[in-house]
Amino acid sequence: MRIPKRLMLAAYRVGSYMVYGTTAEANWIYEKVQRPSSCFIVAMNLLYWKLRRPRVRGIVALILEPVFDCNLRCTYCPWSLMRPRLEGLRPRLMTWETFCAAVDTAPKTVETIQFSGLGEPLMHPRICDMIERVADRGKRPSLFTNGTLLKGDLLRRLAQTPLSVLNLSLEPDAETCRKYRGIDLDTVRKHVEEFVALKQPATEVKIRMVVHPGNVDRLGAVWDPWRGLVDDIKMCPVFTTDGAGSPFLCMEPWRGNLTVWTNGKVTPCCLDTFEDLVIGNIHKEAFAEIIHGKAYRDLLNRFTKGAMPDRCANCSSPNIGQMPTLLPRKPVGRR
């Protein structure tokens, strides 16, 4: 059974407002969760979080890190901010063997597989093969990219893949793109134009922006370069792990997402760059053992008891509802 998109988004807006105090999370959830069975799992996970139960019902999305390396140095990204500590932490590329171990053994409940992590996915030489295999396994593939490598043969090949969503991480205007991401907005826009002309009809193209003190006053004209070209613009508040902790119980470990780093280690938080929350390794354990195993349970127990690892205690991410995450509405009557 397929629930109509508008109905589902409306329900997610209500849910997002009730949980986060902002409707901005609805789009994010929709991207990963569209099957009724996944909705049920997410609802149960949220209930467990609310009741502070150290368990999850299931996992609906995997985030894979195909590349632990990047051609950019965005000013707010851990990749730039924590360079010396990141050097050599894990392999630069996820091997095909690790990728297949993750995708081929992913639980049936997993609906979406997202290529992201700490690095630039388009730097992986087999990224298009990976997307195709995810779709062959009946999962929805989506991808985050900085857009700079979206050109030439790679662009043409990527456009032919059954990608569900291409997320481009950008800043609101040319000046902030240059200043905070070191990129030329016009160049990336040309790449996007070419991709949109060649892509599969079902592939959605979205812009993803981090809202931070340096761009928060620029959001009013955010649609200007993208009218008629992209399907949506989403945003998310900048997170920091420098002591700006949160009084809220972080929901991340209950969200029904697991991240697999290039080395096969599995963590319930996509911000767990330094692997402090690792609950297993896909080369050593089956996903079912990881999801229902002791390490995950112990971790959830620590969260409910307020005894999180220092990194989580210092993370600003659970403060999401405190940030201005609403964008100007998409212009009416356009694509």
Ligand X SMILES: C[S@@+](CC[C@H](N)C(=O)[O-])C[C@H]1O[C@@H](n2cnc3c(N)ncnc32)[C@H](O)[C@@H]1O
Binding site for ligand X (CB under 6 A): 70, 76-77, 116, 118, 120, 144-146, 169, 208, 210, 236, 238-239
User: Cβ of residue 148: shortest distance to ligand X, in angstroms?
Assistant: 9
Q: In what order do the strands lie in the sheet with 61-64?
A: 232-237, 204-211, 165-170, 140-145, 112-115, 61-64, 257-260, 265-267, 280-281
What residues between 104 and 163 interact with ligand SF4 by CB under 6 A?
118-120, 146
Q: CA angle, 213 as apex, 210 and 217 as ends, to 5°?
A: 90
User: Cβ of residue 238: shortest distance to ligand SF4, in angstroms?
Assistant: 11
Does 11 participate in binding ligand SF4 (rule CB under 6 A)?
no
Q: How far is CA 260 from CA 60, 123, 141, 251, in A?
A: 14, 17, 15, 18
Q: If contact means CB under 5 to 8 A according to the sort of partner, which of ligand X, ligand SF4, none does residue 236 touch? A: ligand X
User: Cβ of residue 116: shortest distance to ligand X, in angstroms?
Assistant: 5
Q: List, in sequence order, every beta strand (DSSP E) within 126-262.
A: 140-145, 165-170, 204-211, 232-237, 257-260
Does 171 participate in binding ligand SF4 (rule CB under 6 A)?
no
Does 73 participate in binding ligand SF4 (rule CB under 6 A)?
yes
Please enumerate in sequence order all residues whose Cβ is within 8 A of that of 175, keeping only pairs 6 or more positions apart, or say none: none
- Closer CB to ligand SF4, residue 77 or residue 315? 77
The answer to whether 108 and 60 are in contact (CB under 8 A) is no
Neighbours of 57 (CB within 10 A): 18
User: Cβ of residue 165: shortest distance to ligand X, in angstroms?
Assistant: 12
Q: If contact means CB under 5 to 8 A according to the sort of partner, which of ligand X, ligand SF4, none does residue 223 touch? A: none
C-alpha–C-alpha distance, residues 303 and 313, integer Å: 10
- Closer CB to ligand X, residue 111 or residue 171? 171
User: Cβ of residue 51: shortest distance to ligand X, in angstroms?
Assistant: 28
Q: If contact means CB under 5 to 8 A according to the sort of partner, which of ligand X, ligand SF4, none does residue 80 touch? A: ligand SF4
